[in-house]
Structure 1
């Protein structure tokens, strides 16, 4: 058979059931959800599905007035949708690499732009990074996921996990920070000398400082937040 034929292409790329369960990585950048009930997913992440599935945007009052105000401030980046039904759902986000994590009565913070999907057994809460609201364009919020179940997060290229140990804080660029352990509370700091040295915008001078005992996941890429960048003149 001609290796460039349509039949050969289909054979090499068609969907194959791997029997991995609720979440299944069809490719490193495409998540299959074997749906029989409900899943939460990033709004706009559906690329295909079959079966009977109904999509619904997260209600603005779903988690109370406080969340409503947070969502108004954070823009579209943290918007979630519910997919409910029976079938196969395929999710992706701008070709980013997908990581599946199983939480066992654990908590993890995920950058609002990097949370792709999670089981309904996981409690989620949007957290504002109030100290940086007027300081930088983007990375203003994160989502705390807690409980037992599967979550899928995304990373531009291969992620790196850095251990945070007492007395050895880890400093990261907010736009390259994907997630961190639920017991860590990052502080924000500005580095005026770095900003001056680089001669660049405010994004480079704001840093996240993690202290304690845990981990932080970073990606080799600085995400830009166009909507927020326009809002803050960045």
Structure 2
């Protein structure tokens, strides 16, 4: 099977070693370098319908790159669009992962990205994919990225975790999650005021058993600040 390795500490590469006839798929434009034995082509993976849903759901490209070791074994280097770390996850029949907007980097060909309906709260608010979200199923390696450094949290029963909406990268699909405002000890109005005055927007409360990948940087805030600086 393809060997996935994260190489480098600051804005790392995803290094993938492929043996002959093995292949992976990755986000369009992710390939930085590949050896001569490998071939790359654009592919509308899963057909027109799935490609359209993927584009609507997760800010991913309509076409993805497929890299295959056609002539011999070979290595390739991939890189996410935004600066930040890469996390390699294991997908299997007992562990699917839900992906936030723009977090997908690459996966083995035995992993499939499926679309499913989001919760009402996730549909209306934040960067969790809108009404349709993407889920990685199957079996194999999945690489995701986030803006800044990444950290993997283990959620256990009775120990709910609250995460700022803009810092969630991917999470175990079996986790229950709700989107709302940070707790402030008061009612709805108090929570709304606290959300504005504290600078914290919406949060996601995860419960159950599973993992959540979070990133250190807020992409939405960074883009807003960058736009403000450019216009001033």
The two structures share one fold, judged by TM-score above 0.5: yes
Q: Contact 2:55/2:61 (CA < 8 Å) preserved in 1?
A: no
Indicate if the aligned counterparts of 1:111 and 1:178 stay in contact, CA closer than 8 A: yes
Residues 162 and 33 from structure 1, CA distance in 2 versus in 1: closer, same or farther, beyond 3 angstroms? closer
- 1:178-217 superposed matches below 5 A: 178-190=169-181, 193-199=190-196, 204-217=200-213
2:78 paired with 1:88: no
Render the CA deviation track for 1:114-157: whole Å, top value 9, x for unaligned: 22111011232134535244434x33254322333212122333
Segments of 5+ residues of structure 2 without an aligned counterpart are 183-188, 224-232
Which of these residues, 23, 33, 43, is aligned with residue 48 of structure 1?
Answer: 33
Q: Unmatched 5+ residue regions in structure 1?
A: 1-19, 227-234
Paired residues of 2:150 and 2:216 also in contact (CA < 8 A): yes
Shift of 1:224: 2.4
Q: How does 1:9-48 map to 2 (within 5 A)?
A: 22-28=3-9, 29-35=12-18, 36=20, 37-48=22-33
TM-score (normalizing by structure 1):
0.70
Cα deviation digits, residues 183-213 of structure 1 (max 9, x gap):
113222245545423537xx94322121222
Number of paired residues?
Answer: 203
The Cα RMSD (Å) is: 3.2
**What SS does structure 1 have at the residue aligned with 2:159?**
coil
Alignment partner of 1:175 is 2:133: no
Q: Normalising by structure 2, what TM-score?
A: 0.71
SS of aligned partner of 2:176: coil
What does 1:99-114 align with in structure 2 at a 5 Å threshold? Answer: 99-105=87-93, 106-114=95-103
Shift of 1:41: 0.6
Q: Is the 8 A contact 1:130 1:140 kept in 2?
A: no
